[in-house]
Amino acid sequence: MDGDRFGLWRARLLVVGVLVALLLSTSPALGQETGEAEPIPTNPTPGAIALTFDDGPFEEWTSVILEILARYDVKATFFISAYRLAIRAEIFEIVEEIVAAGHSVQSHGYGHIWLPARARDKIREELQMSIDLIVAAGAPRPTCFRPPYGGTNDVVVSVAEELGLEVVLWTVDSADTVLQQSTGVIRWLLAHAGAGDIVLMHDQWAPVHRTALPVVIESLLEQGVEFESICAPALEKVTFAPSGFPRLLPL
């Protein structure tokens, strides 16, 4: 009788142990992803600037940005609006191109909505969906989240943390969405962007960046400023892996 009871308790303990192990292995809030991960570089190192592109990918525009970045061997960061990945499977391929080129792919949420007005559950759903789609598209799990419109509060930061994401905004807005023409963007960025900055740009304004971006990059390179991606410490290693990627070969 006592032996049976002991066996039953041992079995119960085993079940509880397995459940706890499963929880630890699947929960990003409790597992090693946040607890033991190396610090994420959310700022460029001294002497460097981080170019960031929001709202994409767009089949017609993201490739324009990628071509310019490849021309100067500049690594950047793309904050993906994940609803775009749900439109057509072909858009997954653009994410693969961004990753293969050595850029950082991060989250800009799912539906591009103003999150501070939403309930905690909705915010969590938005972020989780963006993570799932970005990973499904072949990118590493994002480590940073840029809220749409820069809209953040304590709840947004807290939910992001639970999901292993750090909220990253910007220090210089390229004003591409406001100026909508290259001369103004060039003038604005040459006056305001430099080492230490995180620059906000948008994929869909590639017609502006087609002209503006090379001028800005060349000017900063002449000043000795380096270009870095943020939020993805492993990407540089991937970029220069011996196996390499076809995208790294001269185009």
Minimum distance, C-beta of residue 174 to Zn ion, in the bound complex (Å): 13
For the CB of residue 104, give the shortest distance to Zn ion in the complex, in Å: 16
- The DSSP annotation for 49-61 comes to EEEEEES---TTT
Please report how close the Cβ of residue 190 comes to Zn ion at its closest, in angstroms: 24
Q: Which residues bind Zn ion (CB under 5 A)?
A: 54-55, 148
Q: Please say which residue, 57 or 148, places its beta carbon nearer to Zn ion.
A: 148
Q: What is the dihedral of CA 151, 152, 156, 162, to 10 degrees?
A: 110
CB closer to Zn ion out of 52 and 239: 52
Least CB distance to Zn ion at residue 246 (A): 30
Sorted by sequence, the CB contacts under 8 Å of residue 67 that are 6+ apart come out as 251
Alpha-carbon distance of 135 to 85, in angstroms, equals 11
Specify whether the CB–CB gap between 226 and 48 falls below 8 A: yes
Coil, strand or helix: which one is 74? Answer: coil
Nearer to Zn ion, 48 or 123 (CB): 123
Q: Which secondary structure element, helix H or strand E, spans residue 9, and what is its range? A: helix 2-26
- Judged by beta carbon, residue 31 or residue 111, the one nearer Zn ion is 111
